[in-house]
Amino acid sequence: MSKLEGRVAVITGAARGIGAETARIFREAGATVVTWDVADGVDLRVDVTDAVAVEEAVAATVAAHGGIDILVNNAGILRDAQLVKVKDGDVVGRMEEAQFDAVISVNLKGVFLCGRAVAAVMIKKGWGRILNASSVVGLYGNFGQSSYVATKAGVIGLTKVWARELGPRGITVNAVAPGFIATEMVRQMPEHILRQMVERTPVRRMGEPRDVANAYLFLASDEASFINGAVLSVDGGVVVGT
């Protein structure tokens, strides 16, 4: 029997990158996968920042498949900027409030809205897996990423609270914290930046989307039934090497 045979999994932000690879690996493991994203090419177009849209997507998924067993909160965006930018001793720029709000809305509020809606379904069954996308930068910070780091640290906080609240209901909640992962977006960065990423990673390579997807697969499986409230770094040791 495959690891996820008979399970229904919702994966947000699944149009590309880690989300798309997680969907592929979950299907190979026997799961019925429902992909959500604001982009085309997924099962349901869902804006995770819209509470009504999320509730409607949950209802549609339950109606079509009878329930939801696994939620992977993968949707996320970047709007990087320094808090204040200084040149020759003068402040020449500041992070825009709209940039900050956009990242908080998708990366943190979106996790809250999806988790709230799906947990209500899982409680009725008495079983579930909620997996939240954090990042190693949520553990140690990163220059120029105030908003992104705030959300990824916040996701860790949500994960630990939900693990306490939902564990007695048969639902485990864990986070995965990827390091430098070679997604389509990252591969477009300048070559010298990519080299720096590799040099900062003790295993001397960037991660692949499948590395993160396999971590999600394990945490979603029965083998991980006693893991709850954990943050699993999938980073090649980058935190150790920092």
* C-alpha count within 13 angstroms, C-beta hemisphere, residue 32: 11
Residue 207, phi then psi, degrees to nearest 5? -75, 160
Q: Please identify which of the residues 26, 100, 148, 162 carries the catalytic annotation.
A: 148
Identify how many contiguous H helices and E strands the chain contains and give both numbers: 10, 9
Note the helical H segments in 12-90: 17-28, 51-65
- Cα distances from 227 to residues 34, 57, 63, 87, 171, in angstroms, run 24, 28, 30, 47, 11
Helix (H) or strand (E) holding 164: helix 146-166
Can 140 be counted among the known catalytic residues?
no
- Cα distances from 20 to residues 15, 26, 74, 184, 210, in angstroms, run 6, 10, 10, 11, 10
What token pair was written down for 156?
A: 């860790």
Residues assigned a catalytic role? 148
